[in-house]
Amino acid sequence: MQLIENHITTGIPLSPKAKLSARNVDVFYGDKQAIFDVSLDIGVNEVIALIGPSGCGKSTFLRTLNRMNDTIDICKITGEILLDNENIYDPKVDTVPLRARVGMVFQKPNPFPKSIYDNVAYGPRIHGLAQGRVELDEIVEKSLKRAGLWNEVKDRLHAPGTGLSGGQQQRLCIARTIAVDPEVILMDEPCSALDPIATAKIEELIDELREKYTIAIVTHSMQQAARVSQRTAYFHLGQLVEVNPTNQVFTTPQHELTEAYITGRFG
Ligand SMILES: Nc1ncnc2c1ncn2[C@@H]1O[C@H](COP(=O)(O)OP(=O)(O)OP(=O)(O)O)[C@@H](O)[C@H]1O
């Protein structure tokens, strides 16, 4: 693998404080290297979009940020991911509370086969976040409100989550993530299974969630990256080629590979 010259990877977040910092991260699936020496800071209350051609390693990199790759046996990671300056790959880090702090929303909405209420209450119950029913009810209501779903479901909280529309299911999954009070939300193409109206709702929601959380979103849609993110990171063949303010990436990209991608010359 030839390393790409002239990375534009200063990686300095727009906000002064980094919430997550990747340092020299390499990822291997067996003998095959999928991520090459990626360093990137993600700021507090920032939405960063990860873009690039299919197979460039966006999802792999995203999954390093909450050790979701641990679930893949052949996957090995070197380097460091610092969350508030602590390396999440330190052997003493427990991945269960880590994944509550750094929650994840997947491409395909994946509610549990439980009621709407129990989907949201699940995490708070296992993490012991509520003292009793009243507190749990409050967490469920607050999370559904924050995910913009409360008004649509408040009269049927005990109906199955899987009975909702695709867009509602994705907002339910966001409510489930929010319910355990995360600090970072990772989103892996959260709208790719949704229609344009449901997509617009999730995009509005991402903008609102930014006030409270740090968000990293993988997207195939450059329009979506432009609408929701403050910075955009362009990946190419497992390398981080450029990270810059989103409007700059889409108007005056600094690297020729970014320019080729955004002008549709490959991807
Ligand atoms: N579980 C796995 N086992 C082996 N190789 C994998 C695995 N997951 C991803 N890869 C490989 O790692 C590389 C990066 O894949 P990844 O899914 O991270 O890219 P991506 O940019 O998110 O792609 P896409 O946009 O198509 O979702 C690819 O070559 C892919 O084949």
Distances in Å between the alpha carbon of 49 and those of 6, 176, 192?
A: 21, 22, 14
Distance CA 126, CA 254 (A): 46
Q: Is 150 in the pocket of ligand 1 (CB under 6 A)?
A: no
Residue 160, Cβ density class (10 Å: 0-12 exposed, 13-18 middle, ≥19 buried) = middle
From the CB of 34, is ligand 1 less than 6 Å away? Answer: yes
| Confidence band for 36, pLDDT divided at 50, 70 and 90 | very high
Report whether CATH 3.30.300.30 matches the domain 10-263: no
Among the atoms of ligand 1, which is closest to the Cα of residue 218?
22
pLDDT > 90? residue 235: yes
Q: Which amino acid type is present at position 172?
A: L
CA distances from 57 to 87, 144, 158 (A): 21, 32, 39
**Residue 46 binned pLDDT confidence (cut-offs 50, 70, 90):** very high
* Index of the ligand 1 atom closest to the CA of residue 32: 5
Query: Where exactly are the structural domains of the chain?
Result: 10-263
In the structure, what pLDDT confidence band is assigned to residue 109 with cuts at 50, 70 and 90?
very high
Query: Could you tell me how far CA 49 lies from the centroid of its own chain?
Result: 9
Residue 30 and residue 161: Cα distance in Å, rounded? 37
35 lines ligand 1 (CB under 6 A): no
Do 218 and 189 meet the contact criterion of CB atoms below 8 Å apart?
yes
pLDDT tens digit sequence for 47-68: 999 999 999 999 999 999 999 9
Decide if 14 contacts 230 (C-beta within 8 A).
Answer: yes
Q: Is the CB of 72 under 6 A from ligand 1?
A: yes
- pLDDT average, residue stretch 163-174: 95
Q: What is the pLDDT of residues 199-230, one digit of tens each?
A: 998 999 999 999 999 999 999 999 999 999 99
Interatomic CA distance for residues 89 and 42, integer angstroms? 17
pLDDT value, residue 267: 61
Q: Would the pLDDT of 132 be above 90?
A: yes
- Mean pLDDT confidence for 81-93: 95
pLDDT score of 13: 53
Closest C-alpha residue for ligand 1 atom 23: 55
Q: For 151-160, what is the mean pLDDT?
A: 97
